[in-house]
């Protein structure tokens, strides 16, 4: 699944979004607390077999906003989706020591039974049923330094939008939006609440539903 879009989406929570906006950095974290046990195991095996002391990563979504993205990656009212310019983000990682990045390859188990993957592929390999996530990963590894997190600077203009959770209570939205926009350098970033689960235009269509005789 190759992305034809121009952005990547980072689904996270409000605290992490504030950190990103204030520091103008993106944070790669240890996979040890990832929800998917398959992913955790692949990363552990990769780290062990390559004799690495540090493996940290970040997962991004490649394409359009979906209900599944919100429900899996930012399921609570304090969820946030930070939209990043694809070209600027990728260029910022080019040539950085220890960095690997790329699209996740989704494969069926039946294809791997007789042809197991190479160790080098493991961080970017996921089961076929997850293919709708359209994931892009950035990985940092080091053989001797020990770290549970690693920050990398974001280029100017890389953050294009900040989308607040569709489950954030409406009375809080404007206050949160004003607070985020007050962060230095963020006044020009588009910020709004997702209408994924309560879109006025979509719901108003029911008022125009017609009787076709069935």
For residue 89, which of 143, 162, 9 has the smallest C-alpha distance? 9
Interatomic CA distance for residues 79 and 65, integer angstroms: 13
For residue 65, which of 137, 166, 155 has the smallest C-alpha distance? 166
Question: What is residue 140's predicted lDDT score, i.e. its pLDDT?
Answer: 98
Question: What is residue 35's predicted lDDT score, i.e. its pLDDT?
Answer: 82
pLDDT along the chain (214 residues), means of 10: 73 95 96 89 96 97 81 88 96 95 93 92 92 91 96 96 95 96 96 87 81 86
pTM for this one? 0.88
Alpha-carbon separation of residue 126 from 46, 135, 151 (angstroms): 14, 9, 25
Interatomic CA distance for residues 172 and 123, integer angstroms: 38
Question: What is residue 2's predicted lDDT score, i.e. its pLDDT?
Answer: 40
DSSP labels, 16-82: HHHHHHHHTEEEEE-GGG-S-HHHHHHHHHHHHHTT-SEEEEEEEE-SS--HHHHHHHS-STTEEEE
Secondary-structure breakdown of the chain: helix, strand, coil percentages, each rounded to the nearest 5: 35, 30, 35
For residue 185, which of 155, 151, 208, 150 has the smallest C-alpha distance? 155
Question: What is residue 3's predicted lDDT score, i.e. its pLDDT?
Answer: 45
Q: With contact defined as beta carbons under 8 Å apart, do 27 and 19 qualify? A: yes
Q: With contact defined as beta carbons under 8 Å apart, do 154 and 25 qualify? A: yes
Question: What is residue 33's predicted lDDT score, i.e. its pLDDT?
Answer: 85
The SS3 of residue 202 is helix
Interatomic CA distance for residues 134 and 20, integer angstroms: 22
């Amino acid at each position: 699944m190759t992305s034809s879009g121009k952005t990547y989406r980072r689904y996270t929570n409000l605290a992490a979004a504030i950190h990103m906006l204030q520091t103008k950095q993106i944070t790669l974290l240890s996979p040890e607390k990832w929800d998917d046990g398959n992913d955790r195991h692949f990363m552990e095996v990769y780290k062990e077999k390559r004799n690495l002391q540090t493996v940290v990563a970040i997962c991004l979504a490649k394409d359009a906003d979906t209900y599944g993205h919100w429900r899996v990656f930012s399921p609570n009212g304090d969820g946030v989706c930070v939209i990043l310019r694809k070209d600027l983000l990728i260029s910022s990682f080019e040539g950085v020591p220890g960095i690997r990045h790329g699209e996740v390859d989704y494969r069926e188990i039946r294809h791997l039974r007789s042809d197991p993957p190479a160790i080098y592929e493991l961080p970017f390999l996921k089961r076929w049923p997850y293919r709708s996530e359209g994931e892009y990963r950035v990985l940092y590894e080091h053989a001797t330094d020990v770290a549970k997190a690693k920050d990398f600077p974001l280029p100017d203009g890389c953050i294009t939008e900040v989308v607040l959770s569709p489950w954030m209570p409406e009375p809080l939205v404007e206050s949160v939006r004003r607070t985020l926009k007050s962060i230095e350098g963020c006044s020009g970033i588009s910020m709004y609440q997702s209408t994924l689960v309560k879109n006025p235009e979509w719901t108003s269509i029911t008022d125009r539903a017609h009787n076709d005789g069935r």
